[in-house]
Amino acid sequence: MSESTAPATPLYVQTPAATFLRSLAVDRGLARVDLAGSVAHVEMLASVGILAPGEADTILGGLRQIAREIDAVTFPWRDDLEDVHTNLEVRLTELVGPVGGKLHTGRSRNDQVALDERLFLRESVAGVAHALLRLEDALRTRAEAEVATPMPGYTHLQRAQVVSVAHWLLAHWWRFDRDLDRLFATERRADRSPLGAGALAGSTLPLAPDAVARRLGFAGPVENSLDAVSDRDPLAELLFDLSLTAIHASALGEEIVLFAAREFGFVRRTPALGSGSSQMPQKRNPDVAELVRGKSGRTVGDLVALLVTLKGLPLAYDRDLQEDKAPVLDAVATVTEVVEALAGLVAGLVFDREALGVAARDPELYATDRAEDLVRAGRPFREAHAAVAADASGTPPTDPIAALARRSLPGGPAPVAVEVQLRHAEARRAERARSLSSLDRKAGLVEELLKEKTP
């Protein structure tokens, strides 16, 4: 709490419920995007003649000073001022005097917060995408070294047919690649600026929402002002995308937990997996994978919290919408951390090729191969299936590497097919990296707006 005193004229009606209405603890995380939105808004007000050039310069100087204060952690946050928007506006007026009162011209907190959320979404997508690329790189690098390492493939968690460690790792790779695709698509659909919508019905002033939108890197303004202040589809999509990523991460975490158990023994219990037990001296627990799995519940909870908040809200803005930020901020932070931890875990996995080799020599894994050999000799598949099922004992020893090589259809586990898969994955990675660097440039506009010299 700061020691500043309340402003002479409070911005809003004073209510005894003020404490309940507060959102500062959560939304102060949006301060930088909020300031960048204000910079673009002020430049636009000057360009249409609503602000004199000198007034705009003064306000812009104040906004950029506030950005520096936030950077230096010297900003005097005031809990009594409801939310981040009010804190920044009151501080501006403290710094530049009454001209600060012109900042909010033609704007409402309703279009302002909707803008902040879209800017936040943009940088969140970029942040999670960077982490996902690191995870993908770890999966691909590990796969490259294990193309010729056979392992049992499972259905119903029962040994089914032979695959390779590379093929297994890449199966997870494609899931995360679709996650990236979804995140980028979500960002593209959110690429519209709500500013200009005001509280709900625009403004009587000659604003230029299109110019503000472009200045902030958006494709244009939202088409409908009622939609602009109420649409939380981008956040719902983001939370779904993050939930699915968390679920994908948790599925990989689960397999690592299993494979590190002595019952499988495919993954060595190295310190990268986690810590030990406070009581049992022999323990090496796969804590990292477990926590990756565990944090998916909380992320899905965030998605459900937002969806239920949105259900049945009348147009346009309703105060319920204030509850959208906590789940979004939580899910972004959680999933970023999960994906980063998983990337480190995957990079440090040590496969026990010995144990994998023993498991991969299990004759049961080649029962289908034997049935297909009978098919090659002309037997109907149903008969071949029955013949192999009836004669589980008479299995000749199988060389897993040779057996793997026979599964060479596109998308299959044979080394030749996995090499093709790896090349496709690399090409896809290059494409994702290009999308991400253009997103990084757009996300960088926030810092540019806050640093630029007053025009």
The contact set with ligand ARG (CB under 6 A) reads 23, 27, 83, 109-110, 113, 317, 319, 321-322
Q: Are strands 150-155 and 158-164 parallel, antiparallel or unpaired?
A: antiparallel
Strands 220-221 vs 192-193: parallel, antiparallel or unpaired: parallel
Q: CA distances (Å), 57 to each of 32, 60, 63, 179, 388, in order?
A: 19, 5, 10, 43, 84
User: In the complex with ligand ARG, which residue's Cβ is closer, 239 or 246?
Assistant: 239
Query: What is the residue whose two structure tokens read 């698509």?
Result: 185
Q: Are 264 and 258 in contact (CB under 8 A)?
A: yes
Residue 104 falls in the annotated catalytic set: no
Angle between helices 109-145 and 84-96 in degrees, nearest 10: 120
Min CB(234)–ligand ARG separation in Å: 15
Minimum separation from the CB atom of position 109 to ligand ARG (A): 4
φ, ψ for residue 351, nearest 5 deg: -85, 140
Of 322 and 398, which CB lies nearer to ligand ARG in the complex structure? Answer: 322
Q: Are 432 and 129 in contact (CB under 8 A)?
A: yes
Q: Output 320 or 399, the one with its CB closest to ligand ARG.
A: 320
Residue 75 or 351 having the CB closest to ligand ARG: 75
Specify the residue, 109 or 432, whose C-beta has the smaller distance to ligand ARG.
Answer: 109
> In terms of CB distance, is 176 or 317 closer to ligand ARG?
317
For ligand ARG, the closer CB: 230 or 250: 230
Q: How far apart are CA 289 and CA 285, in angstroms?
A: 9
Quote the least distance from Cβ 300 to ligand ARG, whole Å. Answer: 23
Q: How far is the CB of 12 from ligand ARG (least distance, A)?
A: 8
Least distance (Å) between residue 83 CB and ligand ARG: 4
* Residue (of 106, 71, 151, 191) closest to 359 by Cα position: 151
Of the residues 275, 277, 437, 438, only one is catalytic, namely 277
To ligand ARG, the closest distance from the beta carbon of 235 in angstroms equals 12
Active site residue 172: no
Give 9: exposed, middle or buried? Use CB within 10 Å, 0-12, 13-18, 19+: exposed
Q: CB-wise, 58 or 322, nearer to ligand ARG?
A: 322
Q: How far is the CB of 80 from ligand ARG (least distance, A)?
A: 14
Q: Which of 23, 108, 156, 424 is catalytic?
A: 156
C-beta of 309: minimal distance to ligand ARG in Å? 11
How many other C-beta atoms can be found within 10 angstroms of the C-beta atom of residue 433? 13
Q: Which positions are annotated as active-site residues?
A: 156, 277
